[in-house]
Copies of this chain bind each other. A is one copy, B any other.
């Protein structure tokens, strides 16, 4: 062995995995990481392999997985099942959901751009009892 695999504290793991320390604490709190405890001072102690776990979490997040879905994936593996079928399913749903969101945002973008263009020719209004802002009310 060229280097020992000694347990790491929150800060050490955070540096190793390139995430803020309180994110490590958050992941531990919601059960994504499983630290042991230092018997004297109560510090959380992580196996260095938890760093790979964090990498996995961040990678899954870039694919649109939520933390609870990631927890689900871990849970599948922990009872000896392959998480892969679920992973494929979730991704398919995410792709559909994201498609919808993209459409919504594109539609919002159109509405906003159309409004801005229309407003270009309209004067500012002074506030009165009937109208709040005729720009918005005109859309």
Scan residues 49-101 of chain A and give those whose CB is less than 8 A from a CB of chain B.
Answer: 53, 56, 59-60, 62-65, 73-74, 76-78, 80-85, 87-88, 91-92, 94-95, 98-99, 101
> Does A84 lie within 8 Å of B132, measured CB to CB?
no
Q: How far is B133's CA from A85's CA once the two chains are assembled, in angstroms?
A: 10
A: contact size bracket: 35 or more
Among A3-11, A13-21, A22-30, A123-131, the one that faces the other chain is A123-131
> Does B132 lie within 8 Å of A82, measured CB to CB?
no
A106 to chain B, nearest CB (A): 7
Interface of A is mostly: helix
> Does B116 lie within 8 Å of A84, measured CB to CB?
no
A97 to chain B, nearest CB (A): 10
Closest residue of B by beta carbon distance from A114: B63
Q: How far is B120's CA from A26's CA once the two chains are assembled, in angstroms?
A: 34
A-B contact pairs, 12 of them (CB 8 A): A53-B132, A56-B132, A56-B133, A59-B136, A63-B111, A63-B136, A78-B127, A83-B127, A84-B134, A88-B116, A88-B119, A105-B105
